[in-house]
A and B are shown apart, each in its own frame.
Chain A
Amino acid sequence: MLLALPHFLSFSQREVLVFLTINVLVVCSYRLLTLTGEWSLGHVVMMGVGAYASAILAKRFGVHVPVAMLLGAGIAVVVALALSFPLFRMKGFYFLIGSFAAGEIIRLLWKRFRDPFGGPKGIKRIDPMPDIDFGFWQFTAFDPVSYYYFVLVVVTASLVVMWRIENSRIGLTFHAVHWQDSLAQASGISVRAYRTLALVIASGFAGLAGALLAHYIGTVNPNMFDIEQMVYVLTWAIVGGTATFYGPIIGCIALTVVNEIVLRELGLEQGRPLVYGLLLIGTVLFLPKGLEDAVARTWKLAAGLWSGRQVGGGR
């Protein structure tokens, strides 16, 4: 179904679909970080680190684009590792604010240093993915449908990896770190090491998402990774719910479709933030466990009705 999807959409909706798929990776990697109980406000900046790194590598040093993307993700990992030393002296609210400060400093450095970051206007004319002829199918980087398939493969692979991590011993330890901090410590787990691991993995995937974005739109600038974007990621995760793997994905898809397609179709240009804001408030008030909970309940209800009917049919 995901493969056929773009063919039912208008051209601009295909563009939105590409960005949406990339954002799914961002929000899922964000959830991985929250498993240990830490909420960061610097995640989008880590995405930006991947984007900037990959763009500079490809443009300045002529690194092959797919390689640059992976290196970009790698550099996001390194930066996250470096940041983990100061940041994991903090917890909870302090970590939230500390990650914001660290991210904002990185962003201001991009703005300040025109060489190599391009200053406020950022980097333009970033090399696109090379076009590839597979014989049966031609990949064209400028074409949203082509790029969507490419992104879909990368994001799906990343999600599988994150899923495996979550359900491995490491993932269980993440949960343990969240719920029973002192107990985990007593049982000999280095809490800090696991927090760092979660941050580093999450940042790596965020960096990859940033690189995917950078080589598609061909530009990066400091404003693309500001607190406003971070707030969107945060709201996707919380509105969707973070108890399940699919929660943030639902949140991201639902809010993006509402904001970018439904509200635009309604022609509510000026009123768009108004409706979006009201929807956010409404969701946390009336669906405090997130959309995932509503989906799970609907699912149960439907299943119940179904089995009920079958029982009824049996009589």
Chain B
Amino acid sequence: MTRNDNRYGGKTVISFAELTKRQFVKSLAATVAAGTAVGLPRQTLAQTETIKIGFLAPLTGPVAAWGLPGLYGCEIWAEWINDAGGVVIDGVGHSVEFIGYDNEYDPAKARAGASQLVIDDGVKFVMMLGGDTWPGAQPVADQTGMLFSTLLPSDLGPDTPTLIAPAEVHPIYNVTGVEWLAENRPELKTAVICAQEDALGLPSVATYLAAFEAAGIEVLGDPLLFDLATTDFAPIATRMLSEGPDIICLDTCYADYVHPLMEQLFQQGYEGQVISCTADFYDQITAKTSVEFMEGLVFQFPDFDDPALESDLVNFNDPGKFFEVYNERYPGQWGAVSWEYAAIMDLWKWAAERANSVEPADVLAAMTETGQGQHTFGTADWWGEDLFGINNALVGNWPVVVIEGGKAKIKEFRSIPDWYARHGDLLKKHFTEYGQMWNQR
């Protein structure tokens, strides 16, 4: 059977899949043998063959901002890598090509898309946003043993060993911002939280609750949830201000909500501390508020021209140049996800060259072999069994970013595992309360 024909390593796609869905693979094999399958990929990599990588994310619709800008970043990445000789396997450079599939953030379409990419197009790796769409793609991952990545580690689970979260470990890194704030501004004692009610906002609420509790900061009232269809944020700002907090926490919100929320807090006269997971296009928030209002805002996503990223510990190819080219080519599109998919590709390339193979099982084995991996913000651990039931999240340091004089600056890289070693029980408590533990799904 041609599927087993792999000249790069001992392991094969099929041998991996046998661990999970032996039954299905048998029937798939029968189908293939019957000669009825259309367009199965060739399993050997010819010398000049391009390596195809799948990009399965929302490219249209309301969640498109979490997919499309990442695809742009990948295109720059591919250009750079291909110009530099591509991914070297057996001493031969192969160029990389991204194949996008718009899943419209719908699980059924994600399933069709995963089939298209993995079986029809023969990609070697699929990057996803995850969230609602991951359960749709999961059967395809189970069947084929294809390596998938997600930006949302809450998708991870012990029954899918080929899903990894190697770039973004949302929302756990939010603890670093809170801890930094508590150490540097110990006079702040109370906080209020507002959050969008969805799969992004709720685990983040649980994380912030744990982080505030760990830091000895009292959270006033229940977190204020709002629907994604909210247009007017004045009432939410009013309600938060009425509690009279020292800190206002915007949780993990889409930029569409962070901006009007900040504008409203400013207009309603708030002058205290704000902490938020993201502050995409913060220059625009500054334009809508003031430099003084923005001063000291704590968040988690650096600009890639930050000098702190020039450090040798950072594993991202020329972040400053990447930031520049990106902004030149796609003006006004830089945000949290712009670099994340490209960062995953850095890790993938490193692992593929180390394994001397592009087959998913080999790449995964090379990635996780030592229990550590090359995360963008430094060497990190494969971690997460406590929360996700599997050590497939690459967790290490994460930057704490603060606005100073209208510009985002990395104040410090802080270790997430260190925090977890001290306060893990709090996180588990709040995750359980919000139904976010893997065994609660």
Contact = CB atoms under 8 A, between A and B. Distances in A.
Contacts of A8: 38
B186 interface: no
Contact of B24 (A9, A140, A260): A140
A131 B198 CA distance: 34
Contacts of B102: 264, 269, 272
> Which of B24, B37, B39 neighbours the largest number of chain A CB atoms within 10 Å of its CB?
B24
A7 B36 contact: yes
B396 interface: no
A124 B139 CA distance: 12
Contact of B135 (A19, A119, A146, A218): A218
A15 B24 contact: no
B405 to A, nearest CB: 38
A124 to B, nearest CB: 5
A143 B107 contact: no
Given A10-B120, A12-B113, A269-B100, A142 B198 contact: no
Interface of A, helix, strand, loop or mixed by DSSP: helix
B390 to A, nearest CB: 14
A221 to B, nearest CB: 5
B300 interface: no
> Which of A128, A142, A213, A270 neighbours the largest number of chain B CB atoms within 10 Å of its CB?
A142
A143 B32 CA distance: 13
Nearest to B112: A15
A19 B139 CA distance: 15
A16 B112 CA distance: 6
Nearest to B100: A269
Contacts of A111: 197, 227
Contacts of A15: 111-112, 115
B58 to A, nearest CB: 10
B142 A142 contact: yes
A179 interface: no
B108 interface: yes
A217 B136 contact: yes
A121 B112 contact: no
Interface in A262-291: 264, 269-270, 272-273
B234 interface: no
A136 B212 CA distance: 61
Contact of B119 (A12, A128, A270): A12
Interface in A105-152: 108, 111, 114-115, 118-122, 124-125, 128, 131, 138, 140, 142-146
Contacts of A189: none
Contacts of B313: none
A118 B434 CA distance: 10
A235 interface: no
A140 B23 CA distance: 8
A270 B116 contact: no
Given A143-B28, A269-B102, A12 B120 contact: yes
A145 B143 CA distance: 14
Contacts of B107: 217, 219, 221, 224
Contacts of A19: 108, 112
Contacts of A144: 115
A306 interface: no
B27 A120 contact: no
B150 interface: no
A124 B31 contact: no
Nearest to B200: A120
B112 A12 contact: yes
Interface of B, helix, strand, loop or mixed by DSSP: helix
A273 B135 contact: no
Interface residues of A, number: 43
A115 B135 contact: no
A223 B39 contact: no
A14 interface: yes
A85 interface: no
B105 interface: yes
A163 interface: no
B199 interface: yes
Nearest to A138: B27
A15 B136 CA distance: 11
A93 interface: no
A11 interface: yes
A143 B27 contact: yes
Nearest to B196: A120
B278 interface: no
B197 A11 contact: no
Contacts of A272: 60, 102
A301 to B, nearest CB: 35
B435 interface: yes
A221 B135 CA distance: 11
A131 B23 contact: yes
A264 B121 CA distance: 14
Interface in A216-254: 217-219, 221, 223-224
B112 A142 contact: no
Contacts of A260: 109, 112
B140 to A, nearest CB: 9
A145 B199 contact: no
A142 B24 contact: yes
B27 A146 contact: yes
Contact of A14 (B59, B115, B142, B199): B115
Nearest to B28: A143
Contacts of B111: 15, 217
Nearest to B435: A114
A270 B24 contact: no
> Which of A7, A10, A114, A122 neighbours the largest number of chain B CB atoms within 10 Å of its CB?
A10
Contacts of B39: 10-11
Q: Shortest 5 CB-CB distances between A and B: which pairs?
A: A12-B116, A219-B135, A11-B119, A121-B199, A15-B112
Interface of A: 7-12, 14-16, 19, 108, 111, 114-115, 118-122, 124-125, 128, 131, 138, 140, 142-146, 213, 217-219, 221, 223-224, 260, 264, 269-270, 272-273
Given A8-B38, A223-B106, 8 more contacts: A10-B116, A12-B115, A142-B21, A217-B135, A219-B132, A219-B136, A221-B107, A223-B132
10 contacts: A12-B113, A108-B227, A121-B131, A121-B132, A125-B441, A145-B31, A217-B108, A219-B136, A223-B106, A270-B60
